[in-house]
A and B are shown apart, each in its own frame.
Chain A
Amino acid sequence: MSLTKTFAAALLTLASASAFADAPNPNEVYINSIVFAGTGCPAGTVAGNISEDARAFTLLFDSYTVQAGPGILPPENRKACNLNVDIHVPNGWQYTLFTVDTRGFLNLEAGTSAVQQNKYYFQSGFGPSLSSNFNGPRVGDYTTRDLVGVSSLVWSPCGINRSLNIQTSVRVAASAGRRAFATVDSIDGEFKYLYGVQWRRC
């Protein structure tokens, strides 16, 4: 299956507007929608939710699993899921903390390893790449927490919409005869306003 077909089949929009019980605060960063695609999140394998205040989201995965070992072909040892989070950025200057919790499971024999990585970037440029390395022998759950500071400067009185992209991935490696297995069970994200100044009214 070509890369183009894979992405076309996996695109899915999680619309937030209909989920709002209370309107989001226009003076803070909030989520408009999320689109995700990748080998770790094909269409129909993800359950997602955006919170009522539109500042948090949760994704649960069916098939974001990788493995390596005897008889297992190489494409199975790495999967990725790209998230495009469309956010509203309010007028003025703001500093917002974006936290992402990635949860999953590892079953690594001795002589094997796993890496879970998240790369962040806005439309305007590149951001941090954060990764966690795990070595076998190890069996159990893991949780990684990324803290990403988002500084914004907006002149438009009613704010603007911007895309925050997150490239998530997990891969395993195994030496001859050894076995490794890893999952990403869920990804949770939250925007938390810390401080800012607003100088124009919408």
Chain B
Amino acid sequence: MRSGGKYVSLSKALLLVSLSLDLTPLVAASSQKLEVKKVSLAGTGCAATPATGTAVVEDSGNSISVNFPSFSAKSAATSKSLGDMRRNCGMMFDLDYSKSQQFRVSRVELSGEAKGKELDGLVRIDFRFQGESTAIFQDLPIQGERANGKIEIKPGQTSWSRCGERHTFIAQLVARINKPPTAGEAELSVSGPMKLHLEWQDCKR
């Protein structure tokens, strides 16, 4: 939060600071050392080779911006194949950050477009840390046509990364059409860049 003018009275400055603390209680520390050593892609929506994914750390380590090839799930009243109705892109991030800190994903932003009046589908994002059995996922239902625009998904409470151990984080993006239209065609597309907003905390001893 930033004040509007250069000169702000002391009382107003204190009020602004306390409000920002109330709104962001989970941001204990942002990692200055976050580095994406490698990002690998594979899935029916994104080929493993050639390597087409790039990732950039932004906002002083509080977000990662990922570029990936756009992909689409498709269906039509006359479709015979179920395979086109779902496309996924798995993303494996090989990260480097302080062993005394851990992170989780708080919000995801990307772009999407839906064609077809009868489109009944969803965009799903799920993630896990290497070795963890639990994958947290969040669906965004998509109904009907939707112009190309921003999609925001908030996963809710997600698990924290392990402290001091592995630093591989796996995310999967899915575009899926739930049922074929009775007439015409339907297409659900997602495209990047995808921005993963991160929360950090110090590891408990």
Tell me the A residues contacting B by CB distance below 8 Å. Answer: 21, 44-49, 51-53, 55-56, 58, 60-63, 65, 67, 69-72, 99, 101, 103, 105, 107, 139, 141, 143, 145, 179-181, 183, 185-186, 188, 190
Contacts and interface: CB of A to CB of B under 8 A. Distances in A.
B183 to A, nearest CB: 19
Shortest 4 CB-CB contacts between residues of A and residues of B:
A60-B42, A47-B40, A181-B82, A47-B42
Interface in B66-120: 80-83, 85-86, 88, 90, 92, 94, 96
A58 B170 contact: yes
B193 to A, nearest CB: 19
A185 to B, nearest CB: 6
Interface of A: prevailing SS = strand
A24 to B, nearest CB: 12
A143 B170 contact: no
A185 B88 contact: yes
Nearest to B79: A179
A45 B135 CA distance: 23
Contact of B80 (A48, A70, A99, A145): A70
B172 interface: yes
Contacts of B40: 47-49, 60
Interface of B: 40-44, 46-49, 80-83, 85-86, 88, 90, 92, 94, 96, 130-131, 133, 135, 137, 165-168, 170, 172, 178
A191 B90 CA distance: 23
A62 B130 contact: no
Contacts of B42: 45-47, 60-62
A62 B94 CA distance: 19
Given A51-B131, A179-B80, A185 B178 contact: no
Given A46-B48, A47-B40, A190-B131, A105 B86 contact: yes
13 contacts: A21-B96, A45-B42, A47-B41, A56-B166, A60-B40, A60-B42, A60-B43, A61-B42, A65-B44, A71-B80, A180-B82, A181-B85, A185-B88
Contact of B133 (A21, A145, A179): A145
Nearest to A112: B82
A53 B167 CA distance: 10
A53 B85 CA distance: 38
A186 B130 CA distance: 12
A105 B135 contact: no
Given A62-B42, A185-B90, A51 B168 contact: yes
B168 A181 contact: no
B80 A69 contact: yes
Contact of A67 (B83, B137, B165): B83
